[in-house]
């Protein structure tokens, strides 16, 4: 491997035990990941970011499959909207 200044640099690879990986994951899970995330949700790695894409309309894709988001009102919001609609119709008479 060669650095930007043209110097030769050594690439050091060492073996990591399973216990070290588990300890590192526990550290990330307790200290770095957002606490409000469910246990089965993981961060995306740099390699995983290459699976995400956008089209010209701003739609998101993951590994070529379109991601859909639900845009529904909560029941309280629907009740308020219904009451406002009734008030608007009643007020127009």
| pLDDT digits 0-9 by tens, 79-90 | 999 999 998 888
- pLDDT tens, 49-72? 888 888 898 888 888 899 887 778
DSSP 3-state assignment of 26? helix
- pLDDT tens, 13-34? 667 788 887 777 777 666 666 7
Distance in angstroms (rounded) separating the CA atoms of residues 76 and 82: 10
- Is position 10 within any domain? no
Domain that holds residue 54: 18-92
Contacts of 62 (CB under 8 A, 6+ apart): 51, 52
Look up the pTM and report it. 0.36
Distance in angstroms (rounded) separating the CA atoms of residues 64 and 66: 7
| Domains of the chain: total | 1
52 contacts 61 by C-beta, under 8 angstroms = yes
pLDDT on residue 84: 92
Contacts of 63 (CB under 8 A, 6+ apart): 51
- Is position 77 within any domain? yes
């Amino acid at each position: 491997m060669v650095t930007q200044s043209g110097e030769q640099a050594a690439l050091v690879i060492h073996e990591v035990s399973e216990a070290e990986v588990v300890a590192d994951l526990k550290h990330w899970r307790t200290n770095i990941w957002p606490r409000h995330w469910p246990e089965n949700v993981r961060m995306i790695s740099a390699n995983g970011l290459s699976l995400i894409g956008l089209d010209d309309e701003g739609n998101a894709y993951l590994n070529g499959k379109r991601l859909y988001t639900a845009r529904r009102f909560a029941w309280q919001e629907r009740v308020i909207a219904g009451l406002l609609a009734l008030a608007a119709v009643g007020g127009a008479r």
